[in-house]
Structure 1
Amino acid sequence: MSGPTLTQQLTELITDKPVVATDLEQAALLTLDAMANALGARTTEPGAILLRWADETTIADAARRAFLLGSLTHILETDDLHRTSVVHPGCVVVPAAWAVAAREGIRGHAMLRAVLWGFEAVTRVGMAVGPTHYRLWHNTATCGPYGSAMAAAALLRLDPPATVHALGNAGAQSFGLWQFLETGTMTKHLHAGRAAEAGVLATDLARFGFTGPPAILEGAKGWFAATCPDADPAAVTRDPNGPWQLLLTSIKPWPSCRHTHPAIDAARELRHRCPVGAIERVEVESYPAALEVCDRPLPRSDYEAKFSLQHCVAAALARDAVDFAAFAEPARAELAALRGRVTLRVAEPYAAVYPSAWGSAVTVVLRDGERVTVGRTHAKGDPEASLTPVELIAKARMLMVHGGIREPDRLIDAILALSDDSALPELP
C-alpha cells in the first residue's frame, strides 16, 4: 500500500485542526450532557447491576472505569447523537476522556480538547461506514473505539505513529450487533462501555510500544471489507476545514431512541389541535432506518417503548410530557388503544435526505374525517433547532436529580468550568 493510510490521514487532520475558546465551551456542554446521563442512570435496574459489579470487582484501572461510565451513559436514551454518522459519540468519548484525565491529573482545556478529538474521530469513521452497516451493526459500538482511542491519545500526548497504532488496535476490538432489540435486553449499554474501554486499552498499550494495523479501515482484510459493503472511505477525511463534528452533534430532549424524536416533536404540536377522544387514526411518515429500529407496536418494557414509534407518538399526543414516566407500565397500558391506531410508512422527502436530516411527518385523522398534518425536517436538539445552554443545563439537572445526586448545581458548575481550565471535579 503506497501513501498514508486512512488512520494516518485522520490523525493528521485532527491534530492539525485549530481549537478556539468557543469550541472548548461547547465541548464542556457536551461533556456535561454525557456525565449527567451517566449519573442519572445510577437508579435504573441496569445501572444498579453495573454499580454492584463495580463495587464487587473493585475497579482500579482507567479502561474499566471508562467501561463503567460509558455503559451508564447509554442507559437512559437521553445521550447525544451525531446524525450523519448515526453515532452517539458522547457515551463513548467522554467516559474514556474522563477516566484517563482523572488518572493522569489533567485539567480542563486538555480534557476538552481530547473530547473534540474523540468526537471527530468516531463521527468521521461513522460517516464512512455506509448505510448497510447500520442494518446489522450498532454504529456507536463499532465506530466508538476509534473515538475513545483518539481522545486518550490526545491526553497521553502520543506521537502520530503511536496514535495510529492505538487506532488500529481500537478498531480491531470493534463489535456490536442489533440482535438485542429482539428481546429488549441490556446489551446496548454494554456496547457503549466496551467501545470506551477498548480505546483506552489500545492507547495505553500504544504508549508502551504495542503496535496495531495502520490500514485497519481500508485494508484488504480490514474493517470496511469485513463489515461495510457500501463504505465511503473518502468520508473519513472529507471537508477537513469544516467545523468540529462536536458542533454538529444533536442533544436529545426526550428519553427515547433519536429516530422517534422528529415524530414526537410533530405529535406534540398536534396535541394542542387534536383531542385524543376525537382521533380515528394516526399516520407516521419517516425514513427506512426509523422503521427498521423503531417499528414496535406492542412494547413489553420501558426500554422497548423507547424504541417504539407507535408508543412515542401516542405518548406525545396524549400526555403533558414525554418523560421517563411516559414509558413505564402504567403509561403503556393507558396508551395501548391509541398506540394501536398508529401506522408507520417510509415516505419522501424523509427517506432521501436521511441521514443528513432526520425528519418525520405525523397525520392525525379525526373521527369527522378531517386530516391534520405536521412535519419536521429536523428534531428539537439538532444544530438547526438546538437546545439553549439554559435548556441543556436544566436537562442535566433533571438527570442528576433522577440519579439521586444532591446539590447538582455545584457539579454542573464544576463541569462547565472545565472551559476555564479548571480541574476535573470528583464524581459522587
Structure 2
Amino acid sequence: MTLTKLLAEYTLNLKYEDLPAEVVEFTKLCILDWYGSALAGKDEKPIQSFKELVEEWGGHEQSSLVTGGKSSIGNACLVNAAASHIVELDDIHKASIIHAGTVVIPAAVAVAEAHKKSGKDLITAIVAGYEVCYRIGEAVSPSHYFYWHNTATCGTFGSAAAVAKLLNLTVDQTVYALGNAGSQAAGLWEFIEDGANTKQLHTAKAAYNGALAALLAKKDFTAASKILEGRRGFFNAMSDEFNIEKVTKNLGQEFKIIENSFKIHASCRHTHPAMDCILDIMQEHSLHHEQLQNITIKTYQTVLNITDNPNPETIYASKFSSQFCAALIAVNGSASLKNFSKDTLHANVIRELMSKIDVQVDPYYENAYPEKWGAKVEVTLNDGRTFIQSTDYPKGDPEKVASKEELIQKFTAMTSGKTDRPEALVHAILRLEEVDINEWMSAEKREEPCKQTQ
C-alpha cells in the first residue's frame, strides 16, 4: 500500500465518535485561536489586497469572508487563510514546523459552510487535516525547511485531507486529492530577505490548492498515486533527508493535533523561547531595561536562518527579528499586537538595546530541534551581575500549556475592535459540536443564543 493510500484510508475511516473528548475540546480551541487571528488580521493592507482582488473576480456566495460578505469557496480560502497568518499569532506544531490552523481550518470552514456540514463534521475534518500535514511535515523536517515554508508545502496536504473528509470522498478520490495537493505544494523562504507579503500568499494558496485538489477529486480528476514516496515525488524532490516511518508511526492510535502549540507573543515562533527567558529574568529580578549591558541568546541554527535581523525596516520584518523581539519585551514587558507598531519600530530605546544583543547557535538546542524549540539567555547588567534563564519549551507548548481561559483572553484581545460580540463567537465555537456551522458564521449578528442541531 502506498503512503498516499494509507493516509487516504485513515482520512476516510476517521469518525467523530473515534475522537476522545480531550481531542474534541482541543480542536475547538484551535478553531477559536484561528478565527481570532483571522479577525485580527482582516484589516491589514495585504489582506485588503486579497479582498479587493476577490471582489474583482466575483464568485457565487458560498462561504463567508472574515473581511465581510460572502464569495466562492476558493475566494474564502484565499482571504481567510491570508488574514489568519499576518499578525503572527497563529498556532504551530514543533516537530513538523507547520502552522496548520491557517491552512487547514479556512479550507475546511469554507467547504463546511458551503455544503451545510455540521460542527461535528467540521471538527472531524480538521483533526484529519492536522494529522496528515503534521506527519508529512515531520517526515521531511528539518531539511525541507531551509528552502521551503512547511506551512505552505505540507499544509496543502492537510487542507486537501480536511476537505476530502467533508466531501465524503472515496479512498481513490482522496488519493487523487492528496496527489494533486502535492503537485501544487510550494512556498519558498526567499521572501524573508525582503520582509515581503509573500508569507500570506503561502497560506492563502495552501488552503486554496488543497480545497481545489479535493473538489476536483470529487469529479474523479486523477493524480499521482505515490506523490509522497515516488522517485519524482514530494520527498525526493523537496528534502535532502526524509523519514517515511514518521508518516506511519502510530497512525490511527494517536491524535497529533493535541501536540499543537499556541502563540502568546505576536511574532515568529522562533523568537519566543528567548523572549520568554528575558521576560522571566526581568520580572524575577525586577530589572529595568536601562540596567542591561548586554544580552546573549544561545539557541538553534534555524533561529538565525529565519530571524537574525539586526535592522528590521518594517513592522512585519520586526516580528522576524530576534534582536528586535528581545529588546521589545525587555523594554515593554510584553510583545502583543499593540506592541509591534510604528512607534516601537524605530524607538531609540529599543534600537539601542538591540545593538547589545548577540544571537548564537548552541549545540544542545541545535541537536534538540525541531522536537524542542529552546534557548538559553544570559543577561549582564551594568553593575557586572549576570542572570541566566533557559527553556526547552516556550509558553503555549503542550509542555507549558496555555489554558482554555488564557486562550479565550487571547481571542478577546485579538478581536478587540474587530467584532462587536466576541463573547457570542466564543460561545458558538466552544459549542461547535452542538450547533450548525452557519450558526457560528452568523453568531455575532444575532442576539439570541445559537440554535442546537437536532
What is the alpha-carbon distance in structure 2 between the residues aligned to residue 419 and residue 426 of structure 1? Answer: 14
Find the partner of 2:190 among 172, 179, 187: 179
CA contact (8 A) 2:95 2:141 kept: no
| Shift, 1:131, TM fit | 1.6
CA contact (8 A) 2:428 2:435 kept: no
In the other structure, the counterpart of 2:108 is 97
CA contact (8 A) 1:325 1:331 kept: no
| Shift, 1:423, TM fit | 3.2
What is the alpha-carbon distance in structure 2 between the residues aligned to residue 161 and residue 189 of structure 1? Answer: 32
| Shift, 1:123, TM fit | 0.5
| Shift, 1:342, TM fit | 0.4
In the other structure, the counterpart of 1:249 is 260
Give runs of aligned pairs for residues 113-152 of structure 1, distance below 5 A.
Answer: 113-152=124-163
Residue aligned with 1:172, SS:
helix
What is the alpha-carbon distance in structure 2 between the residues aligned to residue 27 and residue 130 of structure 1? Answer: 24
| Displacement over 6 Å in runs of 4+ | none
Q: CA 1:243 to 1:79, structure 2 compared with 1: closer, same or farther past 3 Å?
A: same
Give runs of aligned pairs for residues 278-297 of structure 1, distance below 5 A.
Answer: 278-297=291-310
| Shift, 1:405, TM fit | 1.1
What is the alpha-carbon distance in structure 2 between the residues aligned to residue 160 and residue 242 of structure 1? Answer: 20
What is the alpha-carbon distance in structure 1 between the residues aligned to residue 211 and residue 389 of structure 2? Answer: 45
In the other structure, the counterpart of 2:379 is 364
What is the alpha-carbon distance in structure 2 between the residues aligned to residue 349 and residue 188 of structure 1? Answer: 30
In the other structure, the counterpart of 2:89 is 78
What is the alpha-carbon distance in structure 2 between the residues aligned to residue 401 and residue 158 of structure 1? Answer: 39
In the other structure, the counterpart of 1:413 is 427
What is the alpha-carbon distance in structure 2 between the residues aligned to residue 198 and residue 97 of structure 1? Answer: 12
In the other structure, the counterpart of 2:335 is 322
What is the alpha-carbon distance in structure 1 between the residues aligned to residue 180 and residue 84 of structure 2? Answer: 24
What is the alpha-carbon distance in structure 2 between the residues aligned to residue 202 and residue 178 of structure 1? Answer: 24
In the other structure, the counterpart of 2:47 is 47
What is the alpha-carbon distance in structure 2 between the residues aligned to residue 41 and residue 241 of structure 1? Answer: 35
Larger deviation: 236-245 or 98-107? 236-245
- In structure 2, stretches of 5+ residues that fail to align are 61-71, 445-454
What is the alpha-carbon distance in structure 2 between the residues aligned to residue 329 and residue 401 of structure 1? Answer: 19
What is the alpha-carbon distance in structure 2 between the residues aligned to residue 72 and residue 413 of structure 1? Answer: 22
| Shift, 1:65, TM fit | 1.4
In the other structure, the counterpart of 2:451 is none
Residue type at the aligned position of 2:24: L
What is the alpha-carbon distance in structure 2 between the residues aligned to residue 81 and residue 240 of structure 1? Answer: 20
| Shift, 1:23, TM fit | 1.6
User: Identity across aligned pairs (percent)?
Assistant: 34
CA contact (8 A) 1:136 1:178 kept: yes
Find the partner of 2:79 among 64, 68, 76: 68
TM-score, length basis structure 1: 0.96
CA contact (8 A) 2:176 2:221 kept: yes
| Shift, 1:306, TM fit | 0.3
What is the alpha-carbon distance in structure 1 between the residues aligned to residue 269 and residue 382 of structure 2? Answer: 30
Larger deviation: 265-274 or 102-111? 265-274
CA contact (8 A) 1:92 1:193 kept: yes
Find the partner of 2:315 among 290, 302, 316: 302
Residue aligned with 1:349, SS:
helix
2:22 is equivalent to residue 11 of structure 1: no
Q: Which structure ranks higher in relative contact order (CA pairs < 8 Å, sequence separation ≥ 6)? A: 1
| Shift, 1:16, TM fit | 4.5
Residue type at the aligned position of 2:225: P
- In structure 1, stretches of 5+ residues that fail to align are none
| Shift, 1:326, TM fit | 2.4
In the other structure, the counterpart of 2:65 is none
Residue aligned with 1:363, SS:
strand
